[in-house]
Structure 1
Amino acid sequence: MAIDVSSLWTRLSSKPAGKWLFSRLVCLRAPYFASISPTITELRPGYCRVKISKHRSVLNHLGSVHAIAMCNMAEVAGGMLTEVSVPRTHRWIPKGMAVQYLKKATTDLVAIAEPVTLAQWPDAGEFEVNVKVEDRAGEAVFNAVITMWVSLKKTA
């Protein structure tokens, strides 16, 4: 049985600790995401916002948020945006990611994912998602463009 992520978000996000619980459920489905302890704070077709705290497990040897932690954060945001944006008749998988590290990330971070363009969903094709990561002051520290491969689900 497939989970309708949009419905689950709608049911949980307005409840006390609902966004935290939803985010933990996402991490159960994709365990590597748990390494950054993300919290999805906004989610709708065409938009996703994810927060992480600066804590020991995401730091590099310089005491700033590790580059790969920001890549992981971008994939959470881009993947959740894609999940709630594509029709239920389609599936998706990340195909590639181009990143830019703009400055040291020394605070808690927020990733904001938005599509390059809202797609008309063909049988199969690429869908690009822009993700910007900002520090607590709202300054960009990281940008990514994630290419998703979207295709029709196989029928049984």
Structure 2
Amino acid sequence: MATPLLKTYKKFKWLPFGNWLFSKAVCKRAPYFGTIKPKITHLSEGRITAQMPNRKAVHNHIGTVHAIAQCNLAELCAGVVTDASIPSKTHRWIPKGMTVQYLKKADTDLRAEATISLPRQWQDKEELIVPVEVFNSDGVKVFHADVTMYISAKK
């Protein structure tokens, strides 16, 4: 069963600039994500792909995409794919932690992918690890995050 977020994405994706509009709506709901100007390019139950432009506002002192911008992209992907995947009538989620690996310098636009293995039984008081891979424009993996989502049953 599609969650409200996934239903919204499916409505937006067919519109001209639909992915951009949907991404703006996500950033309006969680404004901090707007700082990286993400564009969600695919969303389905268990899978998301998003892009982030390489621009001066997200650079560090050596001219590459800074660590926290990459973490922000990872948390966006993990949160949106979790929201699109859990049964929204019976469960809720909140990010609990994140472990990251910076593998290469990120000096291009970035593409992130996150997946959740489905189907699955959703539990109460569950810690779900959502892996997020981030690639540069050449398809080289530059960053990996394991985002821990705390899943609980709604009361």
Q: TM-score range by the shorter chain?
A: over 0.9
- Per the alignment, residue 13 of structure 1 pairs with 13
Residue identity matched to 1:80: V
Identity among equivalent pairs (%): 48
Unaligned stretches of 5+ in structure 1? none
Residue identity matched to 2:95: P
Give TM-score scaled by structure 2 length. 0.94
SS in 1 for 2:79: helix
Retained in 2: the 8 A contact 1:116–1:129?
Answer: no
- Per the alignment, residue 70 of structure 2 pairs with 70
> In 2, Cα distance between the equivalents of 1:118 and 1:126?
16
Give TM-score scaled by structure 1 length. 0.93
> In 1, Cα distance between the equivalents of 2:95 and 2:101?
18
Unaligned stretches of 5+ in structure 2? none
> In 1, Cα distance between the equivalents of 2:119 and 2:74?
18
Moved over 2 A (4+): 115-119
- Per the alignment, residue 96 of structure 1 pairs with 97
CA RMSD, aligned part only?
Answer: 1.3
| Residue pairs, 1:5-154, within 5 angstroms | 5-88=5-88, 89-115=90-116, 119-154=120-155
> In 2, Cα distance between the equivalents of 1:81 and 1:27?
15
Retained in 1: the 8 A contact 2:46–2:117?
Answer: no
Deviation at 1:152, TM superposition (A): 1.3
Deviation at 1:123, TM superposition (A): 2.3
> In 2, Cα distance between the equivalents of 1:57 and 1:127?
32
> In 2, Cα distance between the equivalents of 1:85 and 1:11?
17
> In 1, Cα distance between the equivalents of 2:122 and 2:93?
11
Deviation at 1:119, TM superposition (A): 3.2
Instruction: Give the number of equivalent residue pairs.
Output: 152
> In 1, Cα distance between the equivalents of 2:78 and 2:103?
19
